[in-house]
Amino acid sequence: MSVAGAQDKLPVVQYPDGDIGLALDGAPTTHILKPANKHFCNAVENEAFCLRLAAKVKLPVAECTIGNAEGLDYLLVKRYDREPHGRSLRRIHQEDSARPRGTSRRPNTNPIRRPSCVGRP
């Protein structure tokens, strides 16, 4: 599930009051929202569990919370590539390992075999 493009993601801003919205005019985002996926049973809960377990053994991981909007679960992951800058945020530059190597981010591979979701739509 960590492969780029394997699941839907939405860059969002979480405001001080807890509300979530879209960043305007190119402003930096604070979180990544990952909605539940009917093809991967309990992906939201599984990713949250894995991140929290990694944190318990002192691995550096992003903070996350599980939320629900209009009956759809989602995972909200705090971005690690941001730092405070006055009353705003500054993006911390990063590149994935594919870019320096000049390789594709989405290699031509066989489709993922998806497990059946018993009892889920």
CA distance 44 to 52: 12
Q: Is residue 1 part of a domain?
A: no
Res 105 pLDDT > 80: no
**80, 54 Cβ separation under 8 angstroms:** no
Residue 88 pairs in a beta bridge with 85
Question: Is pLDDT larger for residue 3 or for residue 22?
Answer: 22
Per-residue pLDDT, averaged over 12-32, amounts to 90
Per-residue pLDDT, averaged over 1-13, amounts to 76
Q: Is residue 120 part of a domain?
A: no
What pLDDT score was predicted for residue 120?
A: 46
Per-residue pLDDT, averaged over 28-36, amounts to 93
**48, 64 Cβ separation under 8 angstroms:** yes
> How many residues are recorded in the chain?
121
Q: Tell me the residue range of the domain where 77 lies.
A: 10-101
Q: Is residue 3 part of a domain?
A: no
Q: Could you give the number of structural domains in the chain?
A: 1
CATH at 19: 3.30.200
